Amino acid sequence: MVRHSVFFWLDKSLSDEQKASFEYGLRALFEIDCVLNGSFGKAADTPERPVTQNTFDYALVLEFDSVEQHNEYQVHADHGVFVDSFKQWFDEVRVYDTQF
């Protein structure tokens, strides 16, 4: 299994309506046929510690059965639509892929 974790720092000037549109776009990624499971959330309001990093706005987690399924997702048209639709709102994006 591959867990694809994506952390987004968004433009601070986005409206609530734009953020809702972004969340809708995140949910749409769950419907891509090679995605096994998906979820997203915002940074938790946990106590600051030297090892925590909670300055991100959204975290997306997608799971795939295999590296091949992950790779299929990366070139899927709907993934491309998401990136093209929202990339202008990204201040920073970090991806962490983990294989189990």
Q: What is the reported pLDDT for 83?
A: 98
The least confident of 8-17, 21-30, 43-52, 88-97 is 43-52
Question: Which residues in 33-68 are b (16+ Cβ under 10 Å) and which e?
Answer: ebbeebebeeeeeeeeeeeeeeebbbbbbbbbeeee
Q: What is the reported pLDDT for 53?
A: 92
Burial class (CB in 10 A: 0-12, 13-18, 19+), 80: exposed
Q: pTM for the full model?
A: 0.95
Q: Which domains does the chain have, with CATH numbers?
A: 2-44+55-99 (3.30.70.100)
Give residue 29's identity as a one-letter amino acid code: L
Write the pLDDT tens digit of every residue in 29-49: 999 999 999 999 999 999 999
Residue 65: partners with Cβ closer than 8 Å, 6 or more residues away:
1, 2, 36
Tokens found for residue 74: 């990366």
Write the pLDDT tens digit of every residue in 58-76: 999 999 999 999 999 999 9
Write the pLDDT tens digit of every residue in 80-97: 999 999 999 999 999 999
